[in-house]
Structure 1
């Protein structure tokens, strides 16, 4: 601030302002890239749910986060904020130097608050700062929270991919050994015999492990057995008030048919899984040891036969049972033999029926590896008769169970998946297949094209139907109201005639149910279908827009560095029409969709805006459908986009012939 340093001070001022611009721009870039990365790579895994829950807990409606993200939009629309250099002197007669001198750069809050587009949390942050926003304070606080989040995310991803990372380490070790073996070594003496040996390449039949693998499993589980320790439980904490919730069920020791597995916190503050209760004491595994057991489980299910027929839950349960049975035993059994024997006993041909909420079908039909069929009255009656013949003494309980089944699932369509496996494995494999097929079906549902209608078709129990539950009390009176808040949620019935029209599309999506072996373009279409389908389940139009736009970006952008709104608008127009005026109308509609997606307020959309969303959803559906019909023509998204771009130079007649 000294006169002699004026030029240096001005340059510092400009540099700080430049860095503020880059900071908030980078903040939003990181948010978008992380979101796209997670949706692209983890859309069908529990990892995405944990990621979103963490985002909601750490960042949703937080004033600081709202301010940083809002400042990016402020700079984009208004220019750089009104910052100023300052000098502050604080007198202090008790000090030799007479006081302290502070200089810096801050942002005036009053000009900021004149902008009307701040979100409520962002405005709260600005108002809490008083007259000025200190740049260093908000930048450091935001950076700390983002760094903490990404440390958490990296840790979660490392844990999620622990088996893959271990496999990578093993492959790298194998490669190192192969490279070492490839190096010239000392010549063997004349007449010496070379042993072929036995190792990981030894063939494995169903329900048997190669000797080398069996030995490794038994060594690993015996190491785990020595890590089972006594767990001193942390005393239960009293939160200070009794609960008014009614007790749903009370269990006694006689009703517990197996040893309960319970995660607890010990007296040292460590998390542990109690697996053994003996002589009034508790024994179990620390979190680190449990992670070792999970690695052992992954090594088992990587074998071909176990991967096809056994679930991770089955292997984990068998391993825990082995630890329980062999705890403090003089001689231990072979875990490899135990898994093979128990697996042979548990594996059999099975059918998984996954009911679909609010869907009825006239005739059954196939979609990829599964079938969609009706849970008929005759089917439930047949199952009830079988149950009664097995346990006639429990007639009342069985009849009550099947009456509940009639009420909840009879007449609904279900995804039917068949395989030879144990029960947990068909739940794992069939559950993913069923969820994917239901998502694909939603793409052909009436709700997919008719916004603001939303789809309530999902695996039964996971459907979302927004409702209101209100209790109104008055003098000597009360009322209780339940109401569905989404009237545009009709059930869906697929007749034989409707099925004929859907059949070509169902055949196309059937090949996308399993991702293994798909081309990069087919995987992009699969991701696009799942995103668009998820959007049909949301009543909030902004959420519907967000998923629909993301589904289009998966198909119409060569890479994440391409400007999204411009290229999506241009390429949608090229795909949907050759008329210039219609293309421009489509481009305006897409730009409106991006604008609406960025709205930060919670006010409802105007009727005109709702109509714009409806138009956009129909156009998006048509684009995804066009890509689906051409799934076998292109290998990558870039190939598809290049073909779309070539439509720009074609005449209408030529384009119509080639589509």
Structure 2
């Protein structure tokens, strides 16, 4: 029997039921993701107001504007939450009826919907709330603060409770509630907490879609097995070919050792890297013409004068931009700008592996490809996935990133999410000095002055410390992002956070700013008006000028 050709196998893969199912499942995931992210945003916003410290600050008269805005934001999140909940319901119903009409799977789905949602008080309330907001507007809600005394306490001790809740009486005035939803409201009492119903409904939806995903996979088990066989045949006759029409069924990341790729990932990476390698060509950069000959003494640079490989962007004689990264036998080789953009596809494929996302930067993967290309340009070598794994094993290590914080001191260290806030003590500075590489004799004085300057600038302040296992570039990038986020959140606890007239100067060192005037708007405005006193202007132009200075 004649073996099928590569083209025939690709057609079989594209036309297979398993391939079509995987593509449809991917499309269906978008509606679920929209709902989940809206639910998470609502829960997080409600949780912030439920924190007594933050809730009490927002309800103080001096912070009235901030409290009103927080209240508005919660209503916005509720609107997005209930709207996306109904969107998910409709999209899932249409998906099932369109693709599984007349099957036992559709009957099982509708039965599960009835059991999960139709008789569920929380589900019927959320779906009814969407219709309420559509026809009646926003429900009556209020921010509250109350003191709950400890049961049996005689010393007056207790706990403060804050949050945002709905007035159930006004909700019950609407006549369109279904009986189950009305019973839910009646059992809630005088008020209904936003955080509680959002969390409860999200849990219910996630459980249902977990069941639906497992049921669909079981229904298509034979189709997926057939697809896997087609892909195995394709890889057997053309190892570098990977079908572009279907999402491959891959080994879970949890089953793969660190610094290793699954067989499917290795195949795909090899294909993309080999395609890029085949596009490397000689590049001839356009020489910049000189207006007149120069008599300045010049020193020609030869290959022997170069320290390490070089990379260079330039313009070829044809006018096309090119990236040169290989210098071989007096000639330059590289990729055109269009071919270089394909490198993003290789990096994206690498980042689908969990260990790579956690420990490698995009710059590291690009450099690994360049190094691999230089070696493969002259001789055969390992596949790109193998070379990248080997390079990552050498470079990835446990790293502590310290980001000093200006204008902030702490007595002792404390954990703040994934970040630890630590004081930069004299002992820390001494350890930094002793752990640094020993300088050359002629540089000893300069290094001593450098560390003395560091002591003056950062000793005694706090630092955001982030621990991770990563290569140096990613550690620096991710550490800086986490430090910026942590300091931004810490500023929320500053007295200046709730008052527009105050200013918090706490920031990462190098990004801090301390205003020199308590009336910046008036002073800067006068500066702007003083630019040209020969003509006047209205307030609109004055404000525009102030904003122009701000942008400067």
Q: TM-score, normalised by structure 2?
A: 0.45
Highest RCO, 1 vs 2 (Cα 8 Å, sep ≥ 6): 2
Q: TM-score, normalised by structure 1?
A: 0.38
